[in-house]
């Protein structure tokens, strides 16, 4: 099965605390690396967990609170200093491009590699990346400033042809794509070999939803329904519900409730307030409403599609 996994680089909200760095993640799909948010210290964490700068070709920024993007310009600069030549694509709020440009302007830095910028918007979800295997779609969240999550979805594959039958029935190579798409095969004597005999069902497409800073909102439920893995912020415990509401954040209990309502397979909670050293109460509070809950511990890798 194609590798599809998420590695946590940072899980703290607002400031580094208790050996936790601000938010950053790496999504690895078939050895193609996507970075999701880039908080302070992200490039240190990349080295710590074995991800080279030049493995990353796309960076998705959710919003313009510093704990989600203040590591970005440093990373861009380090890529430049380390001789990167390939294009880097960054997606995020339109104003982010101005922030990047002004930093490069006043440091008199002319990047050695092309930088492509994709502005996001918060009116409706949109696909901002697609290749032959996977696509990335924005999720409109409800925070104090414009904020988008990101939904990574495998694209459906054709049926898988049984190799032994290719040799046994001498199936021409140019017919194999058609058989994968559902065609039958006709033998020289006119006998029809049904597609269902020649092929097997492809693996079910997998998905990962990243829900950055947001108040609890049911508006995202239909879009994230049934995902294999959901990351949802859980900044506070539920006894600070009013604080969460005032700051447009979510509690661990609410994250568990969202996971249950969306019928997801597995939940990761993160973006923990610096007031909490011990995160076990977060896990217990979330598990009380969604049993398959896990903490976004730094350095942990979650395989998508495995329970």
Dihedral angle of Cα 71, 74, 75, 80, to the nearest 10 degrees: 170
Upper half-sphere CA count for residue 193 (Cβ side, 13 Å): 17
CA distances from 269 to 45, 60, 111, 135, 255 (A): 19, 19, 36, 23, 7
Task: Judge whether 171 and 165 are in contact, CB under 8 Å.
Answer: yes
Catalytic residue annotation: 67
Six token digits for residue 77: 């600069």
Q: How far apart are CA 147 and CA 60, in angstroms?
A: 11
Q: How far apart are CA 115 and CA 127, in angstroms?
A: 19
56-60 and 88-92 as β-strands: parallel, antiparallel, unpaired?
Answer: parallel
Task: Judge whether 48 and 299 are in contact, CB under 8 Å.
Answer: yes
Task: Judge whether 229 and 6 are in contact, CB under 8 Å.
Answer: yes
Six token digits for residue 271: 């973006």
Task: Judge whether 151 and 120 are in contact, CB under 8 Å.
Answer: no
CA distances from 203 to 135, 196, 225 (A): 17, 15, 19
Strand partners, 116: 89
Q: How far apart are CA 62 and CA 69, in angstroms?
A: 8
Tracing tokens 């990574």 back to the chain, one arrives at 152
């Amino acid at each position: 099965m194609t590798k599809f996994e998420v590695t946590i680089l940072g899980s703290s909200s607002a400031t580094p605390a208790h050996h936790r760095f601000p938010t950053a993640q790496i999504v690895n799909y078939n050895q193609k690396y996507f970075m999701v948010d880039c908080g302070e210290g992200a490039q240190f964490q990349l080295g710590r967990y074995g991800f080279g700068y030049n493995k990353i070709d796309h960076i998705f920024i959710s919003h313009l609170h510093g704990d989600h993007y203040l590591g970005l310009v440093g990373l861009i600069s380090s890529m430049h200093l380390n001789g990167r030549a390939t294009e880097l694509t960054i997606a995020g709020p339109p104003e982010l491009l101005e922030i990047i440009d002004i930093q490069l302007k006043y440091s008199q830095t002319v990047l050695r590699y092309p930088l492509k910028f994709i502005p996001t918007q918060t009116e409706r979800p949109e696909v901002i990346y697609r290749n032959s295997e996977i696509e990335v779609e924005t999720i409109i969240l409800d925070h104090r400033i414009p904020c988008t999550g990101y939904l990574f979805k495998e694209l459906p594959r054709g049926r898988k042809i049984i190799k032994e039958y290719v040799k046994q029935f001498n199936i021409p190579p140019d017919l194999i794509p058609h058989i994968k798409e559902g065609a039958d095969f006709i033998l020289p004597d006119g006998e029809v070999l049904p597609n269902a005999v020649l092929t097997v069902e492809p693996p079910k497409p997998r998905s990962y939803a990243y829900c950055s800073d947001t108040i609890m909102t049911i508006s995202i439920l239909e879009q994230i329904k049934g995902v294999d893995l959901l990351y949802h912020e859980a900044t506070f415990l539920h006894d600070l519900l009013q604080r969460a509401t005032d700051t447009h954040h979510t509690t661990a209990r609410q994250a568990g409730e969202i996971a249950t309502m969306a019928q997801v397979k597995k939940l990761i909670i993160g973006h923990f307030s610096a007031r909490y050293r011990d995160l076990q109460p977060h896990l217990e509070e979330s598990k009380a409403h969604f049993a398959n809950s896990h903490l976004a511990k730094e350095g942990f890798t979650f395989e998508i599609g495995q329970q």
